[in-house]
């Protein structure tokens, strides 16, 4: 795999991961009650705990996208 292919791969990975993050956010915003009912079947979570868990999950996911997709893409782009 060449450096240009690696850069394209990392860019597409970042795009797909941000699409997943956006979908998660949209479901959380527009179908929050349904999502809470679904998760309440398995876990006893208050609405505040539910919000906290999802907000933290989205934040960690975003940081991981930055660390494993965007930063390596920038490094490949600079080198290439």
The pLDDT value recorded for residue 80 is: 83
Structure confidence at residue 57 (pLDDT): 98
Range 17-41 burial, b when 16+ CB lie within 10 A, else e = beeeeeeeeeebeeeeeebbeeeee
Query: How many domains does the structure of the chain reveal?
Result: 1
Residue found by looking up tokens 């868990």 in the block: 53
For residue 7, what are the domain limits?
3-79
The residues of the chain scoring below 50 in pLDDT are none
Instruction: Encode pLDDT of 4-24 as tens digits.
Output: 999 999 999 999 999 999 999
């Amino acid at each position: 795999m060449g450096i240009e292919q690696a850069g394209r791969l990392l860019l597409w990975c970042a795009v797909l991961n941000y699409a997943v993050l956006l979908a998660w956010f949209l479901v959380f915003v527009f179908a929050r009650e349904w999502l809470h009912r679904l998760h309440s079947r398995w876990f006893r979570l208050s609405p505040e705990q539910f919000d906290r868990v999802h907000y933290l999950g989205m934040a960690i996911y975003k940081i991981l996208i930055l660390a494993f997709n965007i930063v390596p893409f920038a490094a490949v782009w600079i080198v290439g």
